[in-house]
Every structure is written in C-alpha cells, then in structure tokens.
Amino acid sequence: MKNNSPVKLAISGLTKKFSANEGVANINLEVHQNELLTLLGPSGCGKTTILRAIGGFNKIDSGKIVLDGKEIQNLAPEQRPTGMVFQSYNLWPHMTVYENMAFGLKLRKEPKEKMQEEIRAMLQLVNMSGSEKKYPAQLSGGQQQRIAIARALVLKPSLLLLDEPFSALDAKIRGQMREELKRIQNEAGLTVLFVTHDQEEAMAVSDRIAVMHQGNIEQLAVPTEIYNAPASRFVAGFIGEMNFISHGSETLAVRPEDISITSGGAGGNGEIENIMLLGHYAQIFLRAASGETLKVFLPKERLADFTQGQRVHYTITRQTVF
Amino acid sequence: MKRLYYTLGKNKFWEYLLCAAFLLIFYGPLVNMVLVSFAEKYEYPNVVPATYGFKWWNYVFSNGKLVESILVSLALAVVVTLLSLVVCLPAAYALARYDFKGRSLVRLSFLFTNAFPKMGIYTAMAVIFYKIGLMGTFFGVVLVHIVNTMMFMVWIPSGSFRTVHIQQEESARDVGASALRTFFMITLPMAKPGIIVAALYTFLGSMEEAQGSLLIGLPNVHTMPSELYGIIMSFPDTAGAVFAIVLLVPSVVLMIVFRKYLSASALSNGLKM
C-alpha cells in the first residue's frame, strides 16, 4: 500500500485568499512517496490554487509546505524541486524540442554528453524518440504535452505538479494520455500531484483522490471508497451518477447500478419511462410510486425483459444516507 | 488597345491598368529623383537631363557640413533607438502583464504627444530646455525624438508581450530560471518581431524628424533633414535630390534586412486596445 510509504509532501494550515469567497483556507494534506494524488473539483474550488502554491506561483497567506523534510513555502519557483506542467502553452515556440528540454539542464551546468543522453532517454519514456529537432508548432497538442512532461521530468523533480495537463486535448487522446501517465509514473517511480475537474480521469489515474468544494477538501480517500462511500452530499453528486431519493428527513444516495429491477406483472412499485442503450449497458428512467424519477443501469443482456411503459419491481441493494 | 482588352479579359484589363497607375504614382517621383540626382546638364524644355554624371554627388560628399549632418543623423537615430528601447520596453511589459488601476489611461497617454500639433509641444519643450541648458545639444534633440516615437515603442512591443503566455514564463521559472533570465531568454525572444518593428519605426522616425531637430538642435546640431531645408533653398534641385537619396538609403536597407518582421500582425497586435 502506498499509504505506508514515507510522506513526501506535507501541507499544513495552508491559506491563500484572493477575496472573501475565493481561495483556500487551512488546507492540510499529505502526499506519500510514489503516490499519484489527485485534487478533484469543479472550477473555482481552489485545487489549482493549492498546486500553484506548491510550485511557488502563488504567494501564500499562511501555512507550511514541507517537501522532503524542507520547508519550501518561502522559496522562489526556480529554487523549488518541483516540476510543473500546465494545461497548455508549456513549450517555448522559439526553441526546438531539444532546446526546450536542455534549458533547465544548462542552467544546472550539466555536461553536454550527459545532457544529450538524459534527453534521449526521457523522450523515449514519453514515446517521442527522434523529435529533438522539431519545433513545438510542428507537434500535435498531445505530443506537446508529452514533451512538457518530459521537460519537467528530465530535471528529476522531487514532486511532479500537473495542472489539468490533458484538458485541452481531444477525448480520445485524453484517454491515451491517462494510460501513458500511469505507465510513466510507475516506470519512473514518480510522486505526482494531479489537478483535474474530470472525475472520470481522476478515478482512472489516482492512488488517492481529494475531492474539493468551495476551498475545502470534502473527502480524501482511495477512488473506490470515494465512489462507494461518499462522505458528503457534494461528493456523492460530483462523482459518477447518483440518484437522490428523499425519505422523510433523510436523503438516500443510490447509484444507478445499485437498483435492481424485475418485471412485476400487474403490480410492482415502478414504471419504465424511457430506455436508452449506451453501449455495453442500458440506462432506464424509472418512475417510482413516490413520483420520483430514478436512473437505473442495466446490463444490455437483460434489456430483452423490459419495454417502455412496463410495471416493474425495484429494490435498492445499496445506499448512502445523508 | 482593343486587342489587349479582349486578350486579357475585362477584369484583368482594368486590374493591369490600375496597377500601372499605382506604379506610376508610387515610383514615378522616386525614379525622377534618381534621374535628377545624376543630372549634370538639365535645362527647361528637356524632359530628361541632357548629360549625366556624379557632379552633385561629389559636391554633397565634399561638403564637410553635409557629411557631418549624415553622421549626426545616423548617430542620433542609433542613440534614440537604443535609449527608447531601454525606457519603453519595461513600460510596454508592465502594460502587457500587470493589471493595475488606470492602465488604459497610461496606455492612452502615450498617444497624447501624437494627438496635438507638434510645434506646440516643441515650443513648450524649448522653453524648458532653455532653462536647463539643453537647447542646441545632442541630448536635447534625442529627447525630442523620443517624445515622438514613444507611442510606437510602447504600444507595439506591449502587443507582442501580450502574445507571450504567462505559462511560458512560469515554465521557465519552474525549470530554474530567475525572473530576469526568463525575461531575456523566453519573453524577449518571443516578442522579438514586434520589438524589431518598433525599433525600425523609431530609427526611421528619428532619421526623418526635422521640425523638432531644427527648433531644439540649431545652431549646434545639424541633422540631415534640417540640412535639407537649407540645400533646397540655396542650391539647385539636383543637390537636393542627391541628399534625399542619401536620406532614403538607410530606410531601404533596413526594410530589406528586416522585411520578414514587417508584418501587419505585429502592428495590429500593438494597436489593439
């Protein structure tokens, strides 16, 4: 379990306010060695604020950021052992891929042969071998992001900071890049702090996810726990699909796949309003006796048993109560 | 003519005719000037000079005062360009990057010197320059020229700086470059096209500025354009033509050398509000 590995980054009491409503207050967070931790939340939730504070691009109001046992909150960005990749415009268009990657190494006065070797190896890691002489404008968006990641990694950062690095890419490329990131992280043994608003992406790549809302971390847990046992109503609604059923003074949160239906003959407690086939599963809208409409997922093999307007029995197999 | 009309087709024919008219209007006077500058015997009824030679070229280049004015003008243009780069680039960068109160007012203020009749500003400057002893000095003329070119030197580079994304600067900081190094190795090279265009404008503007140079510079500082006034009034046309061509040469050379930077986009970026 990565949770048992030593703490790489420890943030305590981090506060950064842009105005009364904007910013983050009193954030505490630990990232372990070789862990990929995701800050997930809607735009404006403060996830990027935290990431930029770690990278040194936001001056924080108060709090401590400890990386590898050293406090870094007062260092300039160039003095921090972090590597950052932004959503876009990472590369310098007037330099070739090689020059882009060599920029930081030259500042560290690395010998030329060693530099060439490291750049070649890093390009291989991100599947961009042989692109040294190309200019950024000659590369696709996905390729540019690979180079940006390689440029950060060639400096062997203690912590890799990714600020929505795939958000500007096409859906298909985005999926590929996720897999690549996971592979690169494992191969290079990286500690990564990843920021995204895409919950699917977060689920796919993360060891742990911190779900953020209005400047607070609402839940910090492994993806399955976030999905199966959301700690708050916000998390329940933000991650995946969820039915909210009012039940007296309580609200039941039920995943569409946690409602099972059987054909109920004349009786039954629900009626099928609509059936939609979405690839390997179908989505059914069910009107419950209470008048609420529920979303139900059904494996496509069972679809033959049901038609629109049919009376059915439904039972909830698993729920979270708020 | 009729044959030509039908061979080319109606549209093409008028296009060619328009093009010919443009060429005549743009280059006619230039060609005439070149012709006149090489004329030795050129009397009234003749359309073109009777004999050609370097008589007036020799005259201009053997006249110490005129040669000196060429050197003064070149030195002025270089100093004005460098100094206004030093003064205006930081202002341009600040206008592009920092969102401070009254930013658009500051931006607009650089237009003021170009929005009023120049002579009024020069006279006001002359009054102050008299008091602080800058009248008739090289540095006084430099200041007058900078007042003129400041708008271009701030606006155009500012537009170029705005095309440099903040992430590109932050990435450089991230890999270990200081703020100053980032500016010189990332921001400045990326903004280079706009800066070159602005520097070109400044250089050429300084080369051809006459009013202010006359008022502030005389009697000690003689620039080419201010000398040109004297030549036109006291020598035959031919000497004036020679001198005008000498004045034209730096412009043409610079335009050719930096032609790949002279795009409309560099200009329009700077003039976006």
Q: Do B73 and B6 share a structural domain? A: no
Q: Do A222 and A79 share a structural domain? A: yes
Q: Do B24 and B158 share a structural domain? A: no
Q: Do A248 and A227 share a structural domain? A: no
Question: Which of A202, A235, A268 corresponds to the end of one domain?
Answer: A235
Higher pLDDT, B112 or A70: A70
Q: Do A217 and A273 share a structural domain? A: no
pLDDT of residue A1: 43
Quote the domain boundaries for residue A277.
243-321
Q: Do A46 and A151 share a structural domain? A: yes
Residues of B in contact with A88 (CB under 8 A): 165, 167
Q: Do A223 and A94 share a structural domain? A: yes
Q: What is the per-residue pLDDT across A53-94, written as a single tens digit (0 to 9) for each?
A: 999 998 899 999 999 989 999 999 999 999 999 998 899 999
Q: Tokens 């049901």 sit at which residue?
A: A306
Question: Which of A182, A214, A235 corresponds to the end of one domain?
Answer: A235
For the question of an ipTM over 0.90, the answer is: no
Extract the residue ranges of chain A whose pLDDT is less than 70: 1-3, 264-268
Q: Do A251 and A134 share a structural domain? A: no
pLDDT of residue B42: 72
Q: Do A186 and A280 share a structural domain? A: no
Distance between alpha carbon A85 and the CA centroid of its chain, in Å? 14
For chain B, the three-class secondary structure string (H helix, E strand, C coil) is: CHHHHHHHCHHHHHHHHHHHHHHHHHHHHHHHHHHHHCEEECCCCCCCCCEECCHHHHHHHHCHHHHHHHHHHHHHHHHHHHHHHHHHHHHHHHHHHCCCCCHHHHHHHHHHHHHCCHHHHHHHHHHHHHHHCCCCCHHHHHHHHHHHHHHHHHHHHHHHHHCCCHHHHHHHHHCCCCHHHHHHHHHHHHHHHHHHHHHHHHHHHHHHCCHHHHHHHCCCCCCHHHHHHHHHHHCCHHHHHHHHHHHHHHHHHHHHHCHHHCCHHHHHHHHCC
Q: What is the per-residue pLDDT across B199-219, written as a single tens digit (0 to 9) for each?
A: 988 998 898 888 888 888 877
In angstroms, the CA A161 to CA A149 distance is 10
Q: Do A145 and A191 share a structural domain? A: yes
pLDDT of residue A113: 93
Quote the domain boundaries for residue B70.
63-271
The structural domain count of chain B equals 2
Closest-CA distance, A85 to chain B, in angstroms, reads: 8
Residue B95 pLDDT > 60: yes
A192 forms beta bridges with A36, A160
Name the pLDDT band for B273 (thresholds 50, 70, 90).
Answer: low
Q: What is the CATH number of the domain that holds A97?
A: 3.40.50.300
Query: Which stretches of A22-176 are assigned E, i.e. beta strand?
Result: 23-32, 36-40, 62-67, 70-71, 82-85, 159-163
In angstroms, the CA A5 to CA B189 distance is 44
Q: Do A254 and A219 share a structural domain? A: no
pLDDT of residue A265: 60
Closest-CA distance, B203 to chain A, in angstroms, reads: 26
**Phi and psi at residue A5, to the nearest 5°:** -75, 160
Question: Which of A208, A235, A262 corresponds to the end of one domain?
Answer: A235
- Cβ separation B177–A91 shorter than 8 A: no
The answer to whether residue B256 is domain-embedded is yes
pLDDT of residue A100: 94
**Any chain B CB within 8 A of the CB of A172?**
no
The answer to whether residue B72 is domain-embedded is yes
The structural domain count of chain A equals 2
Q: Do B95 and B198 share a structural domain? A: yes
Q: Do B158 and B73 share a structural domain? A: yes
Q: Do A254 and A131 share a structural domain? A: no
Q: Do B254 and B144 share a structural domain? A: yes
- Cβ separation A86–B167 shorter than 8 A: yes
Q: Do B24 and B109 share a structural domain? A: no
Q: Do A76 and A50 share a structural domain? A: yes
The answer to whether residue B244 is domain-embedded is yes
Q: What is the per-residue pLDDT across A287-306, written as a single tens digit (0 to 9) for each?
A: 887 888 889 998 888 888 88
Residue B182 pLDDT > 70: yes
Q: Do A198 and A177 share a structural domain? A: yes
Q: What is the mean pLDDT of chain B?
A: 85
Name the pLDDT band for B121 (thresholds 50, 70, 90).
Answer: confident
Q: What is the per-residue pLDDT across B47-82, written as a single tens digit (0 to 9) for each?
A: 777 777 777 788 778 877 888 888 888 999 999 999
Q: What is the CATH number of the domain that holds B166?
A: 1.10.3720.10
In angstroms, the CA B79 to CA B85 distance is 10
If you average pLDDT over residues B131-137, what whole number do you get? 87
The answer to whether residue B234 is domain-embedded is yes
- Cβ separation B165–A89 shorter than 8 A: yes
Q: Do B4 and B89 share a structural domain? A: no
pLDDT of residue B6: 81
Pick from A301-305, B153-157, B176-180, B231-235: least confident: B231-235
pLDDT of residue A266: 57
Closest-CA distance, B160 to chain A, in angstroms, reads: 14
Q: Tokens 């200081």 sit at which residue?
A: B178
- Cβ separation B175–A155 shorter than 8 A: yes
Identify the residue among A59, A78, A156 best suited for mutation to test binding to B, counting B beta carbons within 10 A and taking the highest. A78
- Cβ separation A103–B178 shorter than 8 A: no
